[in-house]
A = this chain, B = another copy of it.
Amino acid sequence: MKVPPVKGTRDFYPPQMAVRNFIVDGWKKASLRNGFEEYDGPIFEYLKMFQIKSGDEIVEQLFSFQDRGGRDLALRPEITPTLARMVNQQINSLPKPIKWFSVPRLFRAERPQKGRLREFFQWNVDIIGVGQSVADAEIIFTTVDYLREVGLAPNDIKVRISSRKLLAAVLKGYGIPDEKLESLYAILDKRAKLPPDRFEQMLAEHVPDRKTLNKILTFMSVDSLPDLEALIKADSDEFVAYQELKMVLWTLEAMGVGDYCVYDPSIVRGLAYYTGIVFEAHEAGGELRAICGGGRYDNLLRDFGGPPISATGMGMGDCVLEILLKEKGLLGESVSQKELDYFVTFAEHYGGSTVHRIVAELRSRGFSAAFSYKPKAGLSKQFKEASAQNAKKCVIVGDEFKDNKLTVKDMATGDQELVDMDEFLSRLGSG
């Protein structure tokens, strides 16, 4: 009986698994060198937990099910609710600031499309307990630190940074009432994706007053800090938010990644829960959706039953990133190729325990080693197997073994060396 895989999921054969490992290992290394510690939660949680942050609409985007006790569970579509739950559970004993990262496997019950699958991986970094904008800068630096290391230059990608707090203060200054802010965010978030006419038309439906509309359009078109500063009222909420934004950009400049970062008022982020700095990384001039996004969310832990405590973070999925890395030629063949340190071969009559012993010795020293499982394979067939597995060296157990000697062949250069077996093993060191 033949059963196909489920649409929107991926089979990771060794070459695809190697690409996944290349991405995930890079995320982990960048997190660790930036001082983050790894955590993870369960793949499923109570369904209602995901409604706290995202409302009831989230339910139909979830894979949900019941356990044998009839409890409603769901596969996690994101890890932030789990993060909030876990931090709240140990809020008093966890040393602050909390600098955590995770690479959760996530799920959404949507129709799969390019760069958007039903099952994917997402890098998350979060700093909890730091209200100052240095934490936002740290999150963005960590993001760029990874993208830079993987080979993406400032002309490949840009991190577009804005402030939800600044936007709120500015809109309120223009007379927009609190209760209208959220629906306005959803429209402003579409600015970069819509033709200008259509965007203005949508905005006008929510902001009938032409003067106010023009003010908003002007604010949204200013994308340099000096020009922005000229618009900002001194001694106001606007000014505080502007100073934070400036500080983030200054810190990123001091950390040497200023050329990756720009102020961009069209970054709003759809989600209601952001409260301060928000950002997205995009391919410079590219058409792919955002590579990653994040920002400050100072109310979330409280919404999950914890104390009011500030937080800021970032999420980056593997699907869009992988497409970009492929397009830019940054996933070389070497990423997905199997490698072997040693392949141990035998000439006729020399198979058996010597091969086993040498292979086992090599492995116990940390070298990767293999041998042919065909007891009657000739030497040339064994060399073919070695090449197919990209073995760097072949050890040959042959005639010279009568004198306790082995031949070691470098598979790249073809050079051969005759060595005493005990000497060979003793000078190996560790792999």
A-side interface residues toward B, CB under 8 Å?
1-6, 9-14, 17-18, 20-21, 29, 32-35, 37-46, 48-49, 52, 60, 63-65, 67-68, 71, 73, 75, 82, 85-86, 88-90, 95, 97, 99-100, 105, 107, 109, 119, 127, 130, 132, 134-135, 138, 141, 145, 148, 251, 254-257, 303-305, 338, 340, 352-353, 356-357, 359-361, 363-364, 366-370, 373, 375, 388-389, 431
Contacts and interface: CB of A to CB of B under 8 A. Distances in A.
Contact of A357 (B34, B48, B75, B255): B255
Contacts of A97: 373
Given A1-B305, A3-B48, A37-B338, A105 B43 contact: yes
How many copies of this protein are present in the complex? 2
A255 B88 contact: no
A130 B11 contact: no
A12 B34 contact: no
Contact of A43 (B107, B305, B340): B107
Nearest to A64: B65
13 contacts: A1-B304, A3-B45, A3-B46, A3-B48, A3-B304, A3-B305, A11-B41, A12-B40, A13-B39, A29-B366, A43-B105, A251-B356, A256-B364
Contacts of A33: 363, 366-369, 431
A20 to B, nearest CB: 8
Interface centre among A32, A64, A127 (most CB of B within 10 A): A32
A38 B17 contact: yes
10 closest A-B pairs by beta carbon, nearest first, are A2-B305, A9-B42, A65-B65, A35-B370, A254-B353, A255-B360, A14-B37, A254-B356, A3-B49, A12-B40
A12 B39 contact: yes
B130 A373 contact: yes
